Amino acid sequence: MTRSHNQTESDLRGRITDRTACVGIIGLGYVGLPLAQAFARHGFRVLGFDLDREKVDRLNAGESYIGHIPSASVAAMRASGFEATTCFDRLAEADAVLICVPTPLTESREPDLSYVINSARAIAKQLRAGQLVVLESTTYPGTTRDVVAPILETGSNGSGLGLRAGVDFFLAYSPEREDPGNPTFSATTIPKVVGGLDPTSGSLAALLYEPVVTKVVRVSSPEVAEACKILENTYRAVNIALVNELKMLYDRMGIDVWEVIAAAKTKPFGFQAFYPGPGLGGHCIPIDPFYLTWVARKYGQATRFIELAGEINTSMPTYVVARIADALNDRSKPIRGSRILILGMAYKKDVDDPRESPGFELMDLLMAKGAEVRYNDPHIPKLPSMRHYPHLRMESTPLTPETLAAQDCVLVATDHSAYNWSLILEHAPLVVDTRDATRGVAGAHHPKVVRA
């Protein structure tokens, strides 16, 4: 027989308030590990869960595998009581369980909730009265209520009866807002949106986050919180698609899109600068809008604006390859047999995060056309096994004058601060720059540089 709602709520509220609550975090990647660090720093006992034995072993040894989180920080977490484990039977030890797992797309660009579902099933096997469960993974509105809650209620304690969400245990959604590599913002300085399945769940989730973040923003439901995250990322995806489309148009017109954006952003109102690139990267922006278009179809509505933006953004790697072909052709060379060096395989500058990076598609497209492709990335010494590109396995090529001179084309895919653009322009015979990284050295026009 379960305890009363008031008793389970009061007990959990007390443990959170005096910071004796154990916080369990499922998924120790670019979202989960910074979150674990935040809770550990504020006196909570943190128990991290991950299926990757190597990650778990490194964390327990006080080592980091994420570039912007130093090993000293992990060692400090360990000293404060943090522990990582692959044993999901220990989920019962946690008073609050935060789900921070990937939500990718299938080959047909439909939501793949397998990681969320498997996490919910693992929690359900150990679920006890008085626990708080918070989903942080980006997903479509309705996932917390329609997917996670039924699994937890049906499967808890291994019985067909289960515990009741909002009564015996508590459930909320709070979207992650990580920006890896951005020194201005962190897991603790970005306001946290929280939507509970019921008022009590929302109150408890807000109470949990309040000690570790700068501000908690309560909303009325998990659906509002889920929709908020989708809106944030769709806003960026649509605006990036706009400048990507304008880049292609202005290129034909002989207009420098980067100069146009620089001029436009001098307007102090009504304009926010977004920048073109070789394609979208990261776990959120290339994926999340497609979650919304999928759920919209269930409601009989087409999201034409969002789908058009997706078409433009996903076409950018092909556009860049065409620009490389044109640049080589102007020098009487075909792509087939040309030596091409890609600078940067991370999805954005100064991080070691390769998730959804356009660099992989660029590499794959160029190799399919017969190019001899290598890469350099100071943050990614060896290409990890990627879900869609398991065949792309190589190590970073040292960036030397001899290496640069031996290429037919150097492609700037990610503009890491570590790159010496003067050295690159001095020795590379041709540079195709998708990030406007060389402007400070080459100016608006340079015989070696093609802006793509």
Residue 432 lies in a domain: yes
Domain shared by 107 and 161, yes or no? yes
Establish if 226 belongs to a structural domain: no
Q: Looking at the structure, do residues 188 and 242 belong to the same domain, yes or no?
A: no
Range of 171's domain?
5-220
Do the Cβ atoms of 117 and 147 come closer than 8 Å?
yes
pLDDT of 240 strictly over 60 = yes
Annotation marks residue 87 as catalytic: no
Given this model, what pLDDT does residue 282 score?
74
Which residues, in sequence order, are CB contacts of 166 under 8 Å at separation 6+? 197, 198, 200, 201
340 within domain boundaries = yes
Q: Are 429 and 332 in contact (CB under 8 A)?
A: no
Last residue of a domain, one of 194, 220, 246: 220
66 and 30 share one domain: yes
Residues 380-392 have a mean pLDDT of 90
Catalytic residue among 100, 228, 284, 409: 284
Could you read off the pLDDT of 299-330 as tens digits, one per residue? 999 999 999 999 999 999 999 999 999 999 99
How many domains does the chain contain in total? Answer: 2
Angle at CA of residue 311, ends 306 and 315, nearest 5°: 145
Shared domain for 305 and 193, answered yes or no, is no
Q: Is residue 17 part of a domain?
A: yes
Whole-Å CA distances, 68 to 65, 74, 177, 179: 9, 11, 16, 11
- 227 occurs within a structural domain: no
**What is the average pLDDT score of the chain?**
93
Same domain membership, residue 268 and residue 184: no
Angle at 394 between CA 389 and CA 396, to 5 degrees: 120
Q: How would DSSP label each residue in 247-267? A: HHHHHHHT--HHHHHHHHTTS
**268 and 325 inside one domain:** yes
Residue ending a domain, choose from 190, 220, 250: 220
Query: Parallel, antiparallel, or unpaired: how do β-strands 96-99 and 83-85 relate?
Result: unpaired
- What average pLDDT does the segment 340-362 reach? 94
- H helices then E strands: how many in the chain? 16, 13
Higher pLDDT: 242 or 290? It is 242
Does residue 228 lie within any of the structural domains? Answer: no
HSE-up (13 A, CA, CB side) for residue 3: 12
Local confidence band at 445 (pLDDT 50, 70, 90 cut-offs): confident
- 195 close to 221: Cβ distance less than 8 angstroms: yes
CATH of the domain at 393: 3.40.50.720
- Among residues of the chain, what percentage have pLDDT more than 90? 83
Q: Is 225 part of any domain?
A: no
209 and 165 together in one domain: yes
Residues 265 and 177 in one domain: no
Q: Check whether residue 189 and residue 267 sit in a common domain.
A: no
Last residue of a domain, one of 220, 251, 279: 220
Inform me whether the pLDDT recorded for 2 exceeds 60. no
Q: Find the range with the poorest average confidence among 18-22, 147-151, 290-294.
A: 290-294
Q: What confidence tier does 1 reach under pLDDT thresholds 50, 70, 90?
A: very low
Q: For 109-151, what is each residue's pLDDT tens digit?
A: 889 999 999 999 999 999 999 999 999 999 999 999 999 999 9
Residues 338 and 428 in one domain: yes
* pLDDT number for residue 5: 66
pLDDT of residue 250: 97
Q: Where is pLDDT greater, at 150 or 444?
A: 150
- Look at residue 346 and tell me if it is in a domain: yes
pLDDT at position 50: 98
Residues 304 and 157 grouped into a single domain: no
pLDDT (0 to 100) of residue 105: 85
Phi/psi of residue 272, each to 5°?
Answer: -125, 130
| 346 in the same domain as 202 | no
- Residues 146-201: tens digit of each pLDDT: 999 999 998 754 544 579 999 999 999 999 987 766 777 776 789 999 999 999 99
Dihedrals phi, psi of 126, to nearest 5 degrees: -115, 0
